[in-house]
Amino acid sequence: MLVKEWMSKKVITIDASDTLSEAINTLKRNKIRRLPVLEDGKLVGIASDRDLKEAAPSKATSLDIWELHYLMSKIKVKDVMTRGPITIGPEETIEKAAIIMKDNVIGGLPVVDDNATVVGILTVQDIFGALISITGARISAHRVTVVIPDKSGAVKEVCDHMRKYNFKCISILTTHQGVEEGFRKVLIRFQTEDDQIDNILNTLKSKYSDVHYTKD
């Protein structure tokens, strides 16, 4: 799954010389949380709603409305933006994007091509969308988790046991999180006839010691 398949291609940007007022109004008008900042058409920064709120005068200010507008017209986006934002290319994977966002505690990545031109933006919501898609979470299914040896062919063995009972796989995910070394946990979402569930579970429990079942 590539970034270009999940990013928002309609990117709303702002110029570095635009004012704080313009930036805040652009965020509100488009109901977004971050703006890539351009200078001569090239990405030079990113302005988040947090950056703009911190730069804006407090609501408790003693300034009158005219003084407030004057002050905000003097503050430029380039004065409050985060310079040198972390970016990602459209051909990179969603997994890599998720790692970058998690490790850097950020909610979005401008997507730039080889010419440093902004071609999209990828947000946490897009990552959620990719996760829902890859897991088939919107498809009603049975769900079984099994702890298996961490060896070649172990996942196939689980599926072979289930395939005997008209098993249709929706998705398979595995993790080493929360299991002993030398093992892995496999999560399988699947469909089958209801009268086959007991057969599948009994077969798996006869082969593996840690089997858990739920249904959407």
Residues of the chain whose pLDDT is less than 70? 55-73
**All domains in the chain, ordered by first residue:** 3-132 (3.10.580.10), 136-215 (3.30.70.260)
Instruction: Look at residue 68 in the predicted model and tell me its pLDDT.
Output: 59
pTM: 0.81
Instruction: Look at residue 62 in the predicted model and tell me its pLDDT.
Output: 47
Please, which residues have CB within 8 angstroms of residue 171's CB and are 6 or more apart in sequence? 134, 135, 136, 188, 189
Instruction: Look at residue 59 in the predicted model and tell me its pLDDT.
Output: 46
Please choose, from the candidates 84, 70, 75, the residue with its C-alpha nearest in 3D space to the C-alpha of residue 39: 84
What region, left, alpha or beta, does residue 166 occupy, with left being phi > 0 and alpha being psi -120 to 50 degrees?
Answer: left
Contact (Cβ atoms closer than 8 angstroms) between residue 18 and residue 76: yes
Contact (Cβ atoms closer than 8 angstroms) between residue 119 and residue 111: yes
Contact (Cβ atoms closer than 8 angstroms) between residue 6 and residue 126: yes
Q: Where are the alpha helices (DSSP H) in the chain?
A: 3-6, 20-30, 49-55, 65-74, 77-80, 94-104, 124-135, 154-163, 197-207
Please, which residues have CB within 8 angstroms of residue 42's CB and are 6 or more apart in sequence? 116, 117
Instruction: Look at residue 67 in the predicted model and tell me its pLDDT.
Output: 55
DSSP string computed for 135-147: HTTTS--EEEEEE
